[in-house]
Structure 1
Amino acid sequence: MEEVTFRKAVREDVPLILEFIKGLAEYEKMSDEVVATEEILDEWLFDKEKAEVIFAIAEGEEVGFALFFHNFSTFLGRAGIYLEDLFVKPKYRGNGYGKAILKRLAQIAVERGCGRLEWSCLDWNQPSIDFYLSLGATPMSGWTGYRLTGETLANIVVYNGIRGREA
């Protein structure tokens, strides 16, 4: 592996971030689900600062990226880092860049005093599963992820005639 360096994304990187997201979506056979635009990413990553992006740089170009944000563990009583996306361009895979990105995220988590680094992986993605296991990651058996999106998310605001609001 050529030496890898990291840099935090800046606003001017939004087109590149979207390119990486689309590359990941293509790999995961989910391209039709990408509705993110440069404008949306700019707002949520840089105006609202709800997530962060780092790039792995080797051979003079961005070879991989990670998009992550803080979550919180009530049991640990501290924040953690949730890795939403990690993607290495196909021609750079197998060279240790994915491992380098995870090591950098672990370093960020430790530096920030976080209690854990976690992520999800598609069940069919055996190459990634094998990679994560080789690093000592523990699968979260006994847990099933759930999600509300789109119309279902909007409709839950009024559920059984009860409207929730802050006190």
Structure 2
Amino acid sequence: MFIDTNLDDFKLRFAEIKDVPLILEFIKELANYEKMLNEVVATEEILIESLFERKMAEVIIGEYKNKPVAFALFFHNFSTFLGRPGIYLEDLYVKPKMRGKGIGKIILSFLAKLCVERKCGRLEWWCLDWNQSSIEFYKQMGAVPMDEWTVYRVYDDALDKLAMKFSK
């Protein structure tokens, strides 16, 4: 089912399982843009399990003249202070040839609308410090950087070691 937008010939839709190869393609394009392609370990099988079997995240596909040109992957988080869920935008990617047409704004606006409809308290995401064009774009959309917070991550062997500390 397509969701009409205010840009002629551009529609949004929620991804279906048949879109998994396309989702992986978008992930790799984004990773290449961020100079992190070597970090992509996702496979179609992993995405099927995570997105469609366990339903851990959702994906929106943006199509211009019936061709996929953008995607956004997001999931719900929770704010204990607000007592409400939020939407965390993991990835938003618009193909380079399609940038500057307002597609990113439409996707963010749609996610904000989804937040309101789902009674979420906020929409948030991370942005790489070097990505100045995205930072300026997000600020124009009303986003505020959370400079006083530092992101921490435990992964790979450190995650396994931390998990082992719990059990006897």
Q: Which residue matches 1:61?
A: 67
Instruction: Write the mapping of 1:69-108 to structure 2, written as runs, cut at 5 A.
Output: 69-108=75-114
Contact 1:4/1:100 (8 A) holds in 2: no
Higher relative contact order (CA 8 A, sep 6+): 1
Alpha-carbon distance, 1:141 to partner: 1.4
Alpha-carbon distance, 1:4 to partner: 2.1
Q: 1:130 aligns with which of 120, 128, 136?
A: 136
Q: Deviations along 1:115-155, whole A, 9 cap, x unmatched?
A: 00000000000000000001110000100101011111010
Question: Following the alignment from structure 1 to structure 2, what is the Cα–Cα distance between the partners of residues 91 and 60?
Answer: 15
TM-score, structure 2 length as denominator?
0.93
Q: Which residue matches 1:52?
A: 58
Alpha-carbon distance, 1:13 to partner: 0.3
- Count of aligned positions: 162
- Kindly indicate whether residue 42 of structure 2 is the aligned counterpart of residue 36 of structure 1: yes
Question: Following the alignment from structure 2 to structure 1, what is the Cα–Cα distance between the partners of residues 92 and 167?
Answer: 35
What's the % identity of the aligned pairs?
Answer: 60
5+ residue gaps, structure 2: 1-6
Alignment partner of 1:12: what SS?
helix
Supply the RMSD in Å over aligned alpha carbons: 1.2
Structure 1 residue ranges (4+ consecutive) displaced by more than 3 angstroms after TM superposition: none
Q: 1:7 aligns with which of 2, 9, 13?
A: 13
